[in-house]
């Protein structure tokens, strides 16, 4: 009986720690949301979460390339890399439209109001477990973030309404290939800067699905996974590297 009581007490203390960590995460997010340049996105698909994590790397790399061009980075190399970024944004825009994400502007913004969310809406989104907050340093990253905000709900709706996934196989394959290209692009940008690149930890099984044909999305599992990322972000305090927090 005493042993059971001790276990319950230990569990209670652990629960209290979890609550404190959760409260610290929310407090930190709400401070970031106060920045008018902040963007809050809460993806419901695995692909959406991977894309957001790649955006953090894109923003960091493009910002540094612009700052170092002409000194630590060769001008021509910088131009080539930024052209590749521009090309990828065009490719991703076409993909978003193919999934029914609507026609947005060249910077990824849409008439639906994603680029003009009010402060209270951002605060509400920031408290969701699957939320990411980014304060883009570059127009490129900001444009991609708004594209993802269009894409994630469009992908979810497409899957829910799809009656013949076999006919959509090429479209899903293109989706994973685009994520692969994005990952390679960010890796190239980091290489130009001579900075080690750590790709998103959950991207490998996603890319492996190209050959396996099992391209899917598990929001429940992803929610648990992103909760762990939230906790890591608070303990390591690395979120500000890319202008925001996971």
Q: Which two tokens stand for residue 108?
A: 């990824």
Q: What is the mean pLDDT of residues 11-17?
A: 64
Mean pLDDT of 177-203: 95
pLDDT band at 8; cut points 50, 70, 90 = very low
Instruction: Break the chain into its structural domains and give their ranges.
Output: 38-245
pLDDT at 101: 67
Regarding predicted confidence, which is higher, 227 or 87?
A: 87
Helices 219-236 and 46-68: angle between axes, nearest 10 degrees: 40
Q: Which residues lie below 8 Å from residue 190, measured CB to CB, with a gap of 6+?
A: 57, 61, 196, 197
pLDDT confidence tier of residue 84, bands split at 50, 70 and 90 = very high
What pLDDT is recorded for position 116?
54
Output the pLDDT for position 211.
Answer: 56
Please say if the pLDDT value at position 218 is more than 50: no
Q: pLDDT tens, 95-150?
A: 999 998 655 443 444 434 344 578 888 999 999 988 999 999 999 999 999 999 99
Residue 4 has pLDDT above 80, yes or no: no
Token pair of 88 as six digits: 């990828």
Strand, helix or coil at 69? strand
Q: How confident is the model at residue 203 (pLDDT cuts 50, 70, 90)?
A: very high
How far apart CA 107 and CA 141 sit, in angstroms, is 9
Mean pLDDT of the chain: 79
How confident is the model over 160-175, as a mean pLDDT? 89
Burial class (CB in 10 A: 0-12, 13-18, 19+), 187: middle
**Is pLDDT of 155 > 70?**
yes
Greater confidence (165 vs 243) lies with 165
pLDDT above 90 coverage of the chain, percent: 55
What pLDDT, on a 0 to 100 scale, did the predictor assign at position 102? Answer: 59
């Amino acid at each position: 009986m005493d042993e059971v009581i001790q276990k319950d007490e230990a569990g209670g203390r652990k629960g209290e720690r979890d609550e404190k960590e959760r409260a610290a995460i929310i407090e930190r997010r709400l401070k970031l949301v106060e920045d008018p340049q902040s963007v809050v996105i809460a993806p419901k698909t695995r692909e959406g979460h991977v894309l957001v994590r790649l955006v953090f790397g894109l923003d960091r790399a493009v910002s540094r390339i612009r700052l170092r061009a002409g000194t630590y980075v060769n001008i021509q190399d910088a131009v080539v890399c930024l052209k590749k970024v521009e090309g990828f944004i065009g490719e991703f825009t076409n993909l978003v439209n193919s999934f029914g994400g609507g026609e947005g502007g060249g910077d990824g913004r849409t008439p639906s109001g994603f680029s003009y969310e009010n402060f209270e809406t951002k605060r509400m989104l920031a408290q969701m477990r699957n939320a990411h907050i980014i304060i883009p340093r570059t127009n490129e990253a900001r444009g991609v973030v708004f594209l993802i905000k269009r894409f994630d709900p469009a992908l979810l709706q497409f899957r829910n309404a799809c009656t013949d996934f076999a006919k959509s196989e090429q479209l899903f394959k293109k989706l994973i290939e685009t994520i692969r290209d994005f990952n390679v692009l960010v890796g190239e940008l980091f290489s130009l800067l001579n900075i080690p690149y750590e790709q998103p930890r959950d991207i490998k099984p996603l890319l492996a699905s190209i050959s396996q044909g099992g391209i899917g999305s598990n929001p429940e599992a992803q929610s648990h996974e992103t909760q762990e990322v939230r906790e890591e972000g608070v303990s390591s305090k690395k979120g500000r590297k890319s202008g925001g927090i996971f």
